[in-house]
Structure 1
């Protein structure tokens, strides 16, 4: 039995899935066809139903529930892990909605959290997350929402933080931040879903057992990121919620779905 599997080349995803895709664990007769893509591409593919199993932003989950189920393992949730709003120089938060905002993809959790904090903002430019700092530095955007490793490096480029959107979410909802999850195409029996979920969990358990070793699979896809930043990335985004959502994680996902619906009704589909 073979399934297509997509996740990002970022250290948190390659760390979680290394043992699975490179057969460091027994995959119990299941084969995986691997697709490594940025999360916004994966989000778009998920809307189209392209892959069997995929990492997605929780911001796109409301559009997927008819044809995918959310798995319990492999995701990224937590506190203090949210996206940051940055600029070249300090800007009053009251001025942000009138500016040009660089966003890492329309269907991302980052966009949802930004929309929660700034529902009146309209001048949004959607782009790959790795291009956002350059857009702000060049003046193409007045400010931008950064995720992933850029959280650790933006200050090196003399950029300043305007708002931690994750802290804003936590203050407003009291819930951990659901950043990304793993979905599995509907139509299979429950036993198979449980097996896929178990394999992802075992893959992460293998990674934890060998940490802080960084597998070559992680290193080779981390571009020019140094080891310190790779480990910061993993430490921030991979935790007990990645092993299992648990009740707190499941509640956070429900809160996000409710928030999506509320913002969708307030600002309209074109803004989300």
Structure 2
């Protein structure tokens, strides 16, 4: 009997590849045969709007738009303290007056864009770019400011760029809660058992990666924008934590506060999928 196939769409950033590494490398027992598509986060957001994949990583800022079709899997999220995007500049800035500036944003549906508007609600010319094009655009002088996510937040200084504001820290100080960046979604209309098995497989994959960091490093390097082992492992340490394994406690508070800011007030029971039969 053939094994059912499930497609997963994710970003090539180290934390997503780390979470999926046990599945990609076929190192864990699974209920399904998995295939993978990798794309930048804004492309993933657009694919989710089209309901293109049964399991897909998206920005939490997008989730209210796809709530009718997807639930958030309780494993796989990037969420916590000290994980936010960074606003950087080409030249040192003394005053927060950006009226004549151009800012590079890694997508209009991203949590990074929401956080930039939360920090700076005034008018400014916005240029939407794939996340990996923002530092090059700054260095060319095409933009004056850039919102950095993924590996960019760890390497901007070596390019002579200046930190203007840690947008995650700004959020945390204002709301006193951890910041939810993005998570894996699963089709809402899947049978409960199927969603449980996908969640179980994702957790097994993450636990494998935690136990075998050195073994999964070549896979992370293959997909990373910055191949430095130090940058990759700093990335994992920053974005993969206990909340990645399971959304609970402070993580649920952070999600609730974040969604309320977006005027999305659904009960988490209706949109976070956690196993209801004890499978882990």
* Alignment: residue pair count: 261
Q: Unaligned regions of 5+ residues in structure 2, if any?
A: 265-280
The counterpart of 1:54, out of the listed 46, 52, 56, is 56
Look up the match of 2:8: 5
The counterpart of 1:157, out of the listed 159, 168, 174, is 159
Look up the match of 2:256: 254
Is residue 30 of structure 2 the alignment partner of residue 31 of structure 1?
Answer: no
CA RMSD of aligned residues (A): 1.5
Worse-matched range after superposition: 141-150 or 205-214: 205-214
Q: Unaligned regions of 5+ residues in structure 1, if any?
A: 263-272
Cα-to-partner distance string for 1:100-146 (whole Å, 9 max, x where unaligned): 11101110010011111111234111101111112222221111100
After TM superposition, the structure 1 = structure 2 runs for residues 118-133 of structure 1, keeping only pairs within 5 Å, are 118-133=120-135
Find runs of 4+ consecutive structure 1 residues off by over 4 angstroms. Answer: none
Residues in 1 aligned to 2:90 and 2:218: alpha-carbon distance in whole angstroms: 35
Residues in 2 aligned to 1:247 and 1:126: alpha-carbon distance in whole angstroms: 34
Look up the match of 1:135: 137
Indicate how the Cα distance of structure 1 residues 72 and 133 shifts in structure 2: closer, same or farther if over 3 A, else same: same
After TM superposition, the structure 1 = structure 2 runs for residues 206-245 of structure 1, keeping only pairs within 5 Å, are 206-245=208-247
Is residue 24 of structure 2 the alignment partner of residue 21 of structure 1?
Answer: yes
Residues in 2 aligned to 1:46 and 1:59: alpha-carbon distance in whole angstroms: 12
Cα-to-partner distance string for 1:39-62 (whole Å, 9 max, x where unaligned): 111011001110000111111111
Residues in 2 aligned to 1:252 and 1:16: alpha-carbon distance in whole angstroms: 21
Look up the match of 2:87: 85
* Contact kept? 2:54, 2:187, Cα under 8 Å: yes
SS of alignment partner, residue 262 of structure 2: helix
Look up the match of 2:112: 110
Look up the match of 1:265: none
* Higher share in helix: 1
Worse-matched range after superposition: 219-228 or 190-199: 219-228
Indicate how the Cα distance of structure 1 residues 159 and 223 shifts in structure 2: closer, same or farther if over 3 A, else same: closer
> 1:184 offset after TM fit, Å?
0.3
Residues in 2 aligned to 1:145 and 1:212: alpha-carbon distance in whole angstroms: 30
> 1:247 offset after TM fit, Å?
2.4
> 1:171 offset after TM fit, Å?
0.6
> 1:33 offset after TM fit, Å?
2.1
Residues in 1 aligned to 2:166 and 2:219: alpha-carbon distance in whole angstroms: 31
Worse-matched range after superposition: 249-258 or 171-180: 249-258
Look up the match of 2:171: 169
* Contact kept? 2:103, 2:146, Cα under 8 Å: yes
Look up the match of 1:178: 180
TM-score under structure 1 normalisation? 0.91
Cα-to-partner distance string for 1:1-55 (whole Å, 9 max, x where unaligned): 2121111111111111010132210112x11221011111101100111000011
Residues in 1 aligned to 2:181 and 2:87: alpha-carbon distance in whole angstroms: 16
SS of alignment partner, residue 62 of structure 2: helix
SS of alignment partner, residue 96 of structure 1: coil
TM-score under structure 2 normalisation? 0.89
Look up the match of 2:204: 202
> 1:223 offset after TM fit, Å?
4.5
* Contact kept? 1:112, 1:260, Cα under 8 Å: no
